Amino acid sequence: MASSVRRATLARLSVGGVRHAIPSGVRLGVLPGQARWSSSQRKTVNPFVRLVYAQLVTITALVGGAAFGVYCMDSRAAVHRYVFAPLIQLFTDPETAGKIGIKVLEYGFGPRDCGVDDEVLRTELFGKSLTNPIGMAAGFDKQAQAIDGLFDLGFGMVEVGSVTPEPQPGNPQPRAFRLPLDGALINRFGFNSDGMKVVRERLQVRLESWVTRVLAAGRALVCDIGTENRNQDPTQLARARLFSTYPDADVRLLDEFGVPRSLKEDRVLAINLGKNKTSREESVTDYVEGVKQLGPYADMVVVNVSSPNTPGLRRLQRRSVLEGLLRDVVRARDGVVGAYDGHAKLPLLVKVSPDLTESELHDISDAAENTGIDGIIVSNTTVTRPAGLLSHDRVHETGGLSGPPVKPLALHALSVIYARNRGKIPLIGCGGIASGADALEFAKAGASAVQLYTALGYQGFGLPRRIKDELTTLLKQEGTTWKQAVGSGVKAIEPYAPDAATQVGLFPGAQDAFDRSVVSLRNEIDHLRHSFDAPSAHDTEQRRAVPFQVDPRDHAYIELLDKVHRVLDHTPHFEDHGVHRLGLPQPESSVPEQPLTTASEKNLTQGNVLHKAVRDVTRVEVPTDAPAPTGPTRTTTSGLRAEHDPAQAEARAARVQSFGDADRHRVI
């Protein structure tokens, strides 16, 4: 059989067979002897085989695409870090990349965290349980569009905003710049916001949608809230009653059943409040209005007084201003809580800058404790540019710097505040967190939870799961949990409690505190002097410390100084064997020892001693039989008459003026 097939094939490929099979027009490029299949022979291919082949290709493509889609829906997939994130960075600017990410998460196309949070990560924040302490910082989802998508990534806390009372476009574009070599970002968005009204409507729709799904799940919940006629459709009745009669009934329903505003078990939703640029700098109305409008939809509210992109905003961090602001916001918060009887206490936090001094951080900590603020977020972006940045192209752009370069500043500020309040106020760390090790550092510095933002743009949507896995491994290696690690790296400060029965003096560290206060006051006085163009005490000391140099043209002044020093210490100060060393540094001290000793013995100042010496040298003995002066005379304030020559007086004045121009700060 095989031999017959081979013979038939050879026959078809013979010269005669080829002549009849190939059309008269031979295609260019066909070499002599090269075989070609004719159109009639192609038609002889079995249609069933072709159909099966096409179906196999289609099924393979569908299965492969579905498998790849399922693979991509898991946030642990490496494609998010090594494919999607680099491509986004390559072809888009930071703001466009953020908008794409928001839309992907908003419409449900983002990946899901398919892992399970380990128990070592479980913690509590303001009495609310969290499966993990990793949060999404404000600035990514400014308009509250992708809340559920962010929770699906595995965050234990999501903060939206900043939200301003009125819509505003923010600063002109471009307003965000990558520093790729540093993994950092500079932004000057300027609180671009849709406004509280639009954000409130989005939150309302989200809650209504959730309640609708719950009501559709069964009739038991509808019966619990009270249905007057169960023969009718209970779902439609409940929806009409909830959303038509009581606009905020969905919020009350959440309170009744203990559902968090995040609508996720053991997760919290935070709303960050900002100020409009058109608002007065010292006004707190924007924050108060934000608490009233958006407080009912949040598990916690954050007051942002530290953005560097709103003029004058950071000045609200001064203690005298901050305390008044926080008291007003706390009163507004208490009013919101009172309006919803079942609503648990709404935690109120303040977000601060990493660019504050230790004394300013202490002031903020004390202000938060005095006003009843529940927590502090440390920190926002920095306006400084730390040494060692590798990306030089955009480093001088105006705006706040975020990412790993901010981490040392944020850690320092966090540890200072934690040590100040001894852990009485929960702190949330933020700034440069890109790994589990970073998160653990913040925990040891006093952070009860942490937030990230910039690293998500560089490493993709799989970052939260990766940080949690790394953090779990580190905690287990150290044999501890997240809650136990909080504040473990801050040196314990024993509170001072003197024994009432024992007479004690200054408390420990009082002298050091006093010295620091003196230095602080002195610096403040110097700043005031500079503001009035007055010389500071430090500048005066520096001028007095400069060695005195005599004007070499001032021969009369040099001779006078020599006479004075002869009287004081019997040694010519500016001549050496008859040769004047004008204007040159002298081997002797510019202030001889004799005035110091004389001043000490006679309880006088050095100035008094020098003035007396000058008077002794310049005093002219007038003979008793001297003739009366014939030139012009003048009467002194003491009643004496002295010879006065106007020409000589003008010459002396000119000479004094020339001395002053040569050295305005000389001291005898």
Q: So which residues are the catalytic ones? A: 307
Spatial separation of the C-alpha atoms in residues 131 and 469, rounded to whole Å: 13
**Triad 633, 638, 643: Cα angle to 5°:** 15
User: Cβ of 620: how many Cβ atoms within 10 Å?
Assistant: 4
Tokens, residue 62: 């569908």
State the DSSP string of 262-298: TSSTT-EEEEEE---TTS-TT--HHHHHHHHHHGGG-
Q: What is the DSSP letter of 334?
A: H
CA pair distance 516, 359, nearest whole angstrom: 10
- Amino acid code (one letter) for 46: N
Establish how many alpha carbons lie within 13 A of residue 545's alpha carbon, considering only the half-sphere containing its beta carbon: 6
**What's the rounded Cα separation, in Å, for the pair 620 and 616?**
9
Question: Smallest Cα–Cα separation from 141: which of 129, 124, 157, 130?
Answer: 157
CA 583 to chain centre: 54
Residue type, 343: H
Residue 340's H or E segment, with its range, is none
Tally the residues of the chain: 668
For residues 404 and 388, what is the distance between their CA atoms, to the nearest angstrom? 12
> Cis peptide leading into 262, omega within 30 of 0?
no
Amino acid letter, 293: Q
CA distances from 428 to 146, 154, 252, 415, 448 (A): 22, 18, 29, 11, 6
Q: Which residues contact 228 (CB under 8 A, 6 or more apart)?
A: 237
Task: Write b or e for each residue in 452-464: b if 16 or more Cβ atoms lie within 10 A of its Cβ, otherwise e.
Answer: bbbbbbbbbbbbb
Tell me the CB-side half-sphere exposure of residue 35, using CA atoms within 13 A.
Answer: 9
Rounded CA separation 152/105 (Å): 9
How many whole angstroms separate alpha carbon 326 and alpha carbon 128?
23
Q: What is the DSSP-derived secondary structure letter of residue 589?
A: -
User: Could you tell me the two tokens for 630?
Assistant: 């014939």
**Separation of alpha carbons 271 and 41, rounded Å:** 72
Alpha helices in 586-642 (DSSP H): 593-601, 606-618
Report the SS3 class of residue 187. Answer: strand
Contact 572, 586 (CB under 8 A): no
Cα 399 to Cα 380: distance, rounded to the nearest angstrom: 12
CA–CA gap between residue 45 and residue 63 (Å, rounded)? 27
668, two tokens: 């005898």
Determine the Cα angle at 61 with ends 59 and 67, to 5°: 100
The encoded tokens of residue 137 equal: 């910082």
DSSP 125-180: ETTEEES--EEEPTTSSTTS--HHHHHHTT-SEEEEEEE-SS-B--SPSP-EEEEG
Residue with tokens 């040196």: 491
